[in-house]
């Protein structure tokens, strides 16, 4: 497949050819060389190492899962439907759309930071089975589920505010045992004001104060953490 040098000099004929080769029919080439698409873009399972052209806005969904992508450079700035980039070789979400209308799914990569993630996700945000130690950079707004299972999280700092507790999952992370002490998402987020976390250390006195606020008994120990 012919790749274009994104953000460099481009030829409209080359872009047109690439769109047709990718099975994209309803599109507009913008003056900057980006491509707006009316409908879905399906780039999944094509052994891609990078997105072959620079996309602008996509009214439907954008599928680029099950490739060998190491970067999301060239992704649309806005997607009306789903954005699926799971099972690639991504270490960062830089280049992601800023807005996704439905679900954003980047599970099963090698992602170590959520910096560059969309700012708004209409439904679910799924970043499980990566290598995250922090949620800094997470979307500002998520309308549905937020799943971050099976990472290396020792803190939920940076997590999207005002999530429904029923839509949040952080199983198979060190932080899970601490999070479960609190009755709901809001009470946990409020507890962080007590500043009791120091990496994998917990300031015991401050955590006890936070638990007292929600009438929870202090545990004898929390797996994965040490009292200080």
How many Å is the maximal CA-CA distance in the chain?
Answer: 68
Strand partners, 119: none
**Is pLDDT above 70 for 2?**
no
pLDDT digit string, tens, across residues 127-169: 999 999 999 999 999 999 999 999 999 989 899 988 877 889 9
Distance of alpha carbon 55 from alpha carbon 21, whole angstroms: 15
Instruction: Please give the helix or strand (H or E) that residue 169 lies within, else none.
Output: strand 168-169
pLDDT tens digits along 168-179: 999 999 999 999
**Chain centroid to CA 152: how far?**
15
Pairing of the two strands 197-198 and 201-202:
antiparallel
Q: Which residues pair with 125 in a beta bridge?
A: 104, 146
**Residue 184 reports pLDDT greater than 90:** no
More confident residue, 11 or 14: 14
Going along the chain from its start, the domains and CATH numbers come out as 12-173 (3.80.10), 174-228 (no CATH)
Query: How many Å apart are CA 55 and CA 32, to the nearest integer?
Result: 10
Report d(CA 82, CA 117) in Å as an integer. Answer: 14
- DSSP H helix total and E strand total for the chain: 4, 17
Q: What span, in angstroms and rounded, lies between the C-alpha atoms of 39 and 199?
A: 45
Which distant-in-sequence residues (6+ apart) come within 8 Å of 73 by Cβ?
6, 50, 51, 94, 95
Tell me which residue of 187, 188, 183, 205 sits closest to 196, measured CA to CA: 205
pTM for this entry: 0.89
């Amino acid at each position: 497949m012919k790749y274009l040098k994104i953000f460099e000099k481009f030829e409209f004929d080359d872009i047109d050819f690439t769109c047709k080769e990718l099975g994209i029919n309803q599109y507009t080439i913008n003056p900057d060389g980006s491509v707006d698409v009316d409908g879905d873009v399906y780039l999944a399972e094509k052994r891609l190492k990078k997105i072959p052209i620079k996309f602008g806005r996509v009214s439907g969904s954008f599928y680029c899962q099950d490739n060998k992508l190491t970067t999301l450079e060239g992704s649309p700035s806005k997607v009306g439907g789903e954005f699926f980039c799971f099972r690639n070789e991504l270490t960062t979400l830089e280049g992601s759309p800023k807005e996704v209308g439905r679900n954003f799914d980047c599970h099963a990569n090698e992602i170590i930071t959520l910096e560059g993630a969309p700012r708004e996700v209409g439904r679910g945000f799924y970043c499980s089975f990566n290598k995250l130690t922090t949620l800094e950079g997470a979307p500002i707004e998520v309308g549905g589920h937020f799943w971050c299972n099976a990472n290396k999280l020792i803190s939920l700092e940076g997590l999207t505010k005002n999530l429904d507790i029923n839509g949040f999952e952080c199983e198979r992370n060190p932080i899970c045992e601490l999070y479960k002490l609190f009755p709901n998402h809001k009470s946990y987020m409020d507890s962080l004001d007590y500043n009791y976390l120091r990496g994998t250390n917990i300031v015991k006195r401050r955590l006890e104060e936070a638990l007292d606020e929600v009438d929870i008994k202090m545990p004898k120990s929390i797996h994965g953490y040490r009292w200080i």
